[in-house]
Amino acid sequence: MISRSTIDRVFEIARVEEVIGEFVQLKKAGSNFKGLSPFTDEKTPSFMVSPVKQIWKDFSTGKGGNAVSFLMEHEHYSYPEAIRYLAKKYNIEIEETVQTDEQKEQMNERESMFLVSKFAKDYFHEILLENEQGKAIGLSYFKERGFREDTIKKFDLGYCLDEWDAFTKEALAKGYDLKYLDKTGLTIVREGQDGRGGKQFDRFKGRVMFPIHSMSGRILGFGGRTLSSDKKTAKYVNSPESDIYHKSKILYGIYHAKKEIAKQDNCFLVEGYTDVISFHQSGIENVVASSGTALTPDQIRLVNRLTKNITVLFDGDAAGVRASIRGIDLILEQGMNVKVVAFPEGEDPDSFAKKHSDAELRDYLENSAQDFINFKVSLLMQDAKNDPVKKAGLIRDIVTSISKIPDSIQREVYVQECSRIMDISERVLFSELAQLISKNTKEFAKAQKKEQQSFEVVKAREAQVEEIDSLYILEREIIRILLLFGNKEADFVDYIEVEDEEGNIHLETENYSNQVSKELYLNLQDDEIEFSNTIFQKIYYEMIHQLNQIDKIDMDAFINHQDSEIASMVTSILMDDERYALSDWERKNIFVTESEEVLSKLVTDAILNLRRVLIGKKINDLMSQDNPLQITSNDLEMVKNYTGLKRRLYDKLNRVV
């Protein structure tokens, strides 16, 4: 287990904006940073990072926390894995304590799959560089492809021995469970006819290995290329879908490319592993591959977090280009800017990079990039030529692509460009575009109607449920005040009930100073108030403990709390005040009153309102007997007293009953 001192050091040094900045493109927003949510498909930023508080909040999903919780949410790390990742990032030495057998057993299946995948990556890489067969076959192949040793190490390239179960035997000997070798697809397990005496085979036997990294560098799966000339053998074999590997949701090279993509504000999209590696070796690192699969919205969203600009690189193979061009519409739907580069016939990004210098490759990419309309026209016009029917089909094809663009101004610009290139009036194009958008809108409305019908059913059920719990809101407000202002001093006014000679009660004021946390504690103690919400109760008790021990509330202890429920709730409360920054209210000359300016009123209102709601509940409980005849005169007397007390509370709150 990781020692407490290491965990404390990680929290002390790690910067939440630096950690999240590797996964999300962040822009300055006052004293904070904002960006698009990495958890939803959104067009307007709702993700906020506070460097001062060292926390983040995603307002679109309600998720929030510190650097560790972000890695746990985004990368599905366990708590120890997130700590290890940050320790490695900030060069913090990890102190270990002995792990018990029980703790080892508690590791979940996903963690075990990640562990066995990392072992496989290290094993294949070592075989490639150290084993005689690996060097003679695997390393020779990569060197023939022109890959330098530093490149081979950078991408963790490897080789699986051409033996039936060499890898599986080694993994089992090292203590890895066959169950996880099977689940990750590294080993193919075949049971015997009687259910026993089965055999195990290495899936990637005799193949060079391309590990597939997540955005944070974890090994998700592998691609293996055969070196056999047997036509019956599949050229490439990928890891099967598993709990950790979803081919449609990952891009090869995203881990090595993410920083450069954000820096260059552009991403090159290629097809294969070697295309990515060759570009890196040529000094172009903002490149990823779809790994031979049709481009998916999930893959596009990975890039969209880092940049709005994507350049699709096509092989000089016409059939391949036509098959891949469908992905452009998906990119446009995500509101991204698309350019296209086609390589000369017979060339692909890998071969072109090897035949040209780094400078020549850069020049070609810069000078050959076309807008998607120009590219589609130049590609498809060859077929259309003088055929009016085919030409009309091409125009519809381009207008269909334009209709996918969410931004109306961009659509209009593209229509004008299409009109110029295709020599057709804008009026006709706009008419066709309007029909397509109308059709899309109707289909969307139909889908929304179905969703709305489902929502109405849910809403009808919810209407039967009690309205918003006032107690929850007030208890949350008290916790918020304690977190933000608990250690501050404030001037308070005490309202004392004084009875005059005629028996009338009126309020007199008395001024005094007190620490906010102590003021709230004394009032809650006097009323013997217990929090009804269990999370608030836990937070409150820990605050009291801190006040007794160190005479102050330590906010960081809650932000970095190992109880994820407490950490999440505290983060959510602390980031509420940052929500207005997403809308740039200050730029619009809308200013929010600082809570500190009205701190004593904030505290007093919170206490009085909580008393008011609790008294209201007491009255309702007394008057809510199933049989009205069961209400006693004593009950009515208590209701009368509570009602009088409630009225005086309203007087204190300067409200009218």
Return the pLDDT at 459.
Answer: 47
**508-538: pLDDT as tens digits:** 777 888 888 888 888 777 666 778 888 998 9
| Residue 128 domain-assigned (yes or no) | yes
Q: Cβ(101)–Cβ(51) under 8 Å?
A: no
Read off the pLDDT band of 460 (50, 70, 90).
very low
Assess if residue 410 is contained within a domain. Answer: yes
Higher pLDDT, 278 or 558: 278
Domain edge (last residue) among 223, 245, 267: 245
Confidence of residue 465 (pLDDT cuts 50, 70, 90): very low
In a domain, 437, yes or no: no
**Would 446 be classed as within a structural domain?**
no
Same domain for 125 and 189?
yes
Q: Are residues 154 and 192 in the same domain?
A: yes
What's the rounded Cα separation, in Å, for the pair 4 and 9?
Answer: 9
Residues 239 and 90 placed together within one structural domain of the fold: no
For residue 212, the tally of other CB atoms under 10 A from its CB is 25
The counts of H helices and E strands in the chain are: 29, 18
Q: Clarify whether residues 361 and 261 are in a common domain.
A: yes
Q: What is the mean pLDDT of the chain?
A: 82
In degrees and rounded to multiples of 5, residue 8 shows phi and psi of: -60, -40
Parallel, antiparallel, or unpaired: how do β-strands 207-213 and 158-159 relate? antiparallel
Which helix (H) or strand (E) segment holds residue 67: the answer is helix 67-74
**In a shared domain, residues 236 and 301:** no
**Does residue 87 form part of some domain?**
yes
Let me know whether 263 and 205 are in one domain. Answer: no
Q: Are 417 and 270 in the same domain?
A: yes
Provide the 10 A C-beta neighbour count for residue 526.
9
Q: Domain check: are 191 and 307 in the same one?
A: no
258 in a structural domain:
yes
Does pLDDT of 319 surpass 70? no
Report pLDDT for 473: 87
Same domain, 520 and 613: yes
59-93, pLDDT tens digit by residue?
A: 888 888 899 989 988 887 778 888 999 999 999 99
Write the DSSP symbol of residue 112.
H
| Statement: residue 256 has pLDDT above 90 | yes
Q: Residue 225: which CATH number?
A: 3.90.980.10
pLDDT grade, residue 192 (50/70/90)?
low
Asked, for residue 436, whether it belongs to a domain, the answer is no
Q: CA 124, 128, 129, 131 torsion: positive or negative?
A: positive
Domain final position from 372, 395, 427: 427
What is the number of residues in the chain? 657
Question: Could you say which of 73, 103, 133 is where a domain stops?
Answer: 103
Residue 62: both structure tokens together = 């309600």
At 119, the pLDDT band (50, 70, 90 cuts) reads very high
CATH assignment of the domain containing 324: 3.40.1360.10
Residues 6+ apart with CB under 8 A from 376: 325, 328, 394, 397, 398, 401
Q: How far is CA 92 from the centre of its chain?
A: 25
Could you tell me the pLDDT band of residue 576, with boundaries at 50, 70 and 90? Answer: confident
Same domain? 300 vs 401: yes
Q: Are 494 and 509 in contact (CB under 8 A)?
A: yes
Q: Determine the structural domain holding residue 390 and report its residue range.
A: 254-427
The answer to whether the CB of 56 falls within 8 A of the CB of 20 is yes
Tens digit of pLDDT for each residue in 592-644? Answer: 445 555 788 888 888 878 777 777 766 666 666 555 555 566 655 665 655 65
Q: Which helix (H) or strand (E) holds 559?
A: helix 555-559
| Residue 110 pLDDT > 80 | yes
Name the phi and psi angles at 309, rounded to 5. -115, 130
Asked if 171 and 283 sit in the same domain, the reply is no
How many structural domains are present in the chain?
4
Residue 378 pLDDT exceeds 80 = no
CATH number of the structural domain spanning residue 80: 3.90.580.10
Q: Residue 136 above 50 pLDDT?
A: yes
Q: What does the pLDDT read at residue 175?
A: 93
| Crossing angle of the two packed helices 516-526 and 534-550, in degrees rounded to 10 | 120
Give the pLDDT score at 174.
94
Is position 454 within any domain? no
481, 598 Cβ separation under 8 angstroms: no
Are 259 and 220 part of one and the same domain? no
- Mean pLDDT lowest among 21-30, 76-85, 475-484: 76-85
Give mean pLDDT, residues 440-444.
64
pLDDT, tens digit, for every residue of 140-181?
999 999 999 999 999 999 999 999 999 999 999 999 999 999
